[in-house]
A and B are shown apart, each in its own frame.
Chain A
Amino acid sequence: MSFTEFVDGPFWYFSAAVFVIGVVWRLVGMLTMGSKPDYSLPRASGTAGAIGINIKRFFPRTDFWSRIKLQVIAGYLFHVGLFALLFFAAPHIDFYRERLLGFGWPAMPEWAFILVSELAFLGLLLLILHRMMNPVTRAISNRGDYIGSALIFLVMLTGCLALARAYEPLRVLHFFLAELLLLYFPFSALMHTFTFPFSRGFMGAHYGRRGVRV
């Protein structure tokens, strides 16, 4: 079996399976750990708090802004860019259509693809550098943080290098790294992709029932 066949075949199926099973396992596991009843009289609705915080938390409070603005701006550049790339870049939509879903949707124009990629790279590089430069993040970051960031960066980079869509080795490299990322994902902090609505929700519910808008 050639490396290309391996990457397009067994390794793809294996990494996709580990990804799906791992994510579901971890999510279900953490959400079914039970909770204790709260007999105190609520002041307001916890559910409303859980939903409200999920939206509000996208907009950091002005009180904190001066100390966090680099991370917030870089964070949004990266995350919004990545989201746009994953779901609206033509090569990815082609992949979903051919390998996963059987259908696709309109892709963004080439110039938008380039622009969005650049913004995503800018955000990610700033975030990685900030993690290394800032004393707090340098102190609390572990191997996993750097491995996760590096993997994402390499996947994005190899995608960029293969942009001409004319050389099989470049495509295979990109796919291989993406599959490594899928394998790594459920074991890492990258899970925040799926856990964030729940962690925000729990906090929103807790403070919501106390009548505090967080």
Chain B
Amino acid sequence: MAIDMNVFRGFAEQIKMLPQMAQPTDCPDNERLKRAKAVFAAKLDSSKATYLESCVHCGLCAEACQFYIQTEDPKFTPIHKLDLLKRFYRREKAPLRFFHRLTEPEITEADLEATQELVYESCTECGRCGLVCPMGIDIAAMVHITREGLAQAGLIPAGLRAVEQEQGSRGTVFGVGPDQIRQAVDDLRAKGHEVPINKEKADILVLSSTIDVLLFKDALEATVKVMNHLGVDWTIHSCAFEGANFGLLSGYEEVQKSASERITSQAIALGAKLVIVPECGHAYPAMRWYGANEHGAPLPFEVMALSEFLGREVISGRLHLKPLGPDRHVTYHDPCKVGRHGGVFDEPRAVLKALGVDLREMPSNKVTNFCCGGGAGLFVMEGAAPMRDAAFDLKRQQVEATGAESVVTACGSCRVNLMAGAQRTQWGTQIESLVELVGANLKQ
């Protein structure tokens, strides 16, 4: 693995400095509550209303949440995160609101602030809670709505806010912009790869991410190799290469829209039939499930996660891989946003099958897998470090239960969180990327 550990450590240092880089928000103090409520009012539709009407306080959601399982602190009960939203709903939108106004006090700014930790630093919106709820309440979706309200109220935690502001104002993440992607392309060309960039027209628009440009350069290289190997008509575009969407992560919808629209409009301009999202968790739903809604119309192109694309190529027989052998014992970690929220389970496994490895599933796998702890922007929030560490410890037990020597995944922030945990705990298990495995084992 050619990961520059200095860059990795640099990342960690930079993340610690992020809160200082955050700019004050444009939300005056006396507007916070009003703006949050406006978001809640707009976002609470039939499905959310039904969810909020249905909770019986059974507490099963806590038993599915890695943060509660590891801390045994009832504060982290998933449904408790929705207290703010529930109280707003009861007073303002519920069919019985006239009755609730007699018994339910107004939400206050202090309540907004108290909710910040619950929906940001201690929740990755992984959705495991929704799987166990007997009433089928989609808690993760409503955590996100709460984030959206807090974001408008200027209450995104500072570290995450800094990155969201950067992407919103400059279109870059950690300073990685058109120049940096061009540099990365040049570096790859210097190694002998053909890398189409900024073509006028192309069938496939391939996205990358800051993490791949700076840290997981092998993943970008492997992507290039595979696309070339397949002989498809593809391109990277320097105006639209960033898969990560810090508007989505922070809940600030304007930036979510501008980031996904940048990609959508470029893909339309290219006449692309397919947009491939890199190894990144939330980048997948950002385009696959929300891109069309932010656009206001169905997208005229397909969206696939890289792992999904690779799997489909393997299944259809267009991609052949050299087998690594059954003495390679691996387990696969489904990134929550690609798996549970995205529906991509079979394709990465088809790739691993073609690689001939001995795949051993974790005790909780596929739709019930445990989150690595780094999702939903947690990896850029220093305050979330104890939560990330706790989740990693649980994930580690899951991996070790398989006896596998390596854990393969297809998400950059999962990789970062697993690597950080591995460093902290001196963990010997290898952490590998699916596309890198593919890139290294293409059969001619």
Which of the segments B47-55, B191-199, B232-240, B429-437 contacts the partner chain? Answer: B47-55
Which of the segments B3-11, B129-137, B400-408 contacts the partner chain? Answer: B129-137
Q: Is residue B64 within 8 Å, beta carbon to beta carbon, of the partner chain?
A: yes
Q: Is residue A31 within 8 Å, beta carbon to beta carbon, of the partner chain?
A: yes
Q: Is residue B341 within 8 Å, beta carbon to beta carbon, of the partner chain?
A: yes
Q: Is residue A164 within 8 Å, beta carbon to beta carbon, of the partner chain?
A: no
> A67 — nearest CB in chain B belongs to which residue?
B63
Interface residues of B in 66-112 (CB under 8 A from A): 68-69, 72, 74-75, 77, 79-80, 93-96, 99
> B294 — nearest CB in chain A belongs to which residue?
A39
Q: Which 8 A-B pairs have the closest CB atoms?
A: A29-B95, A200-B136, A211-B343, A39-B292, A139-B74, A136-B59, A202-B47, A203-B136
CA of A36 to CA of B74 in the docked complex: distance in angstroms? 34
Q: Is residue A196 within 8 Å, beta carbon to beta carbon, of the partner chain?
A: yes
Which of the segments A57-65, A86-94, A172-180 contacts the partner chain? Answer: A57-65
Q: Is residue A214 within 8 Å, beta carbon to beta carbon, of the partner chain?
A: yes
Q: Is residue A140 within 8 Å, beta carbon to beta carbon, of the partner chain?
A: yes
* Residue among B50, B132, B138 with the highest chain A CB neighbour number at 10 A: B50
Q: How far is the CB of A131 from chain B (nearest CB, A)?
A: 8
Contact across chains for B368 and A136 when beta carbons are under 8 A apart? no
Q: Is residue A98 within 8 Å, beta carbon to beta carbon, of the partner chain?
A: no
CA of A28 to CA of B94 in the docked complex: distance in angstroms? 11
Q: Is residue A13 within 8 Å, beta carbon to beta carbon, of the partner chain?
A: no
> A22 — nearest CB in chain B belongs to which residue?
B96
Contact across chains for A213 and B367 when beta carbons are under 8 A apart? yes
CA of A137 to CA of B292 in the docked complex: distance in angstroms? 39
Interface size of A in residues (CB-CB distance below 8 Å): 60
Interface size of B in residues (CB-CB distance below 8 Å): 60
Chain A binding surface SS class: helix
Which of the segments B283-291, B318-326, B375-383 contacts the partner chain? Answer: B283-291
* Residue among B79, B343, B364 with the highest chain A CB neighbour number at 10 A: B343
Q: How many CB-defined contacts (below 8 Å) exist between A and B?
A: 175
Contact across chains for A68 and B74 when beta carbons are under 8 A apart? no
Q: Is residue B340 within 8 Å, beta carbon to beta carbon, of the partner chain?
A: yes
Contact across chains for B77 and A140 when beta carbons are under 8 A apart? yes
Contact across chains for B299 and A53 when beta carbons are under 8 A apart? no
CA of A75 to CA of B134 in the docked complex: distance in angstroms? 10
Q: Is residue A71 within 8 Å, beta carbon to beta carbon, of the partner chain?
A: yes
Contact across chains for A39 and B135 when beta carbons are under 8 A apart? no
Q: Is residue A47 within 8 Å, beta carbon to beta carbon, of the partner chain?
A: no
Q: Using an 8 Å CB-CB cutoff, how does the interface string of A3-41 with B read, 1 for contact, 0 for none?
A: 000000000000000000010011011111111111111
- What A residues does B94 contact at CB under 8 A? 29-30
Contact across chains for B136 and A41 when beta carbons are under 8 A apart? no
Q: Is residue B56 within 8 Å, beta carbon to beta carbon, of the partner chain?
A: yes
Contact across chains for A210 and B342 when beta carbons are under 8 A apart? yes
Q: How far is the CB of A141 from chain B (nearest CB, A)?
A: 5
Contact across chains for B45 and A41 when beta carbons are under 8 A apart? no
Contact of A30 among B49, B79, B340, B343 (CB under 8 A): B49
Contact of A68 among B63, B302, B368 (CB under 8 A): B63
Interface residues of A in 180-207 (CB under 8 A from B): 186-187, 189, 191-192, 195-196, 198-204, 206
Q: Is residue A2 within 8 Å, beta carbon to beta carbon, of the partner chain?
A: no
Q: Is residue B169 within 8 Å, beta carbon to beta carbon, of the partner chain?
A: no
Interface residues of B in 281-314 (CB under 8 A from A): 288-293, 295-299, 302
CA of A40 to CA of B302 in the docked complex: distance in angstroms? 10
Q: Is residue B175 within 8 Å, beta carbon to beta carbon, of the partner chain?
A: no
A30-B95, A60-B132 known; A212-B50 Cβ under 8 A: no
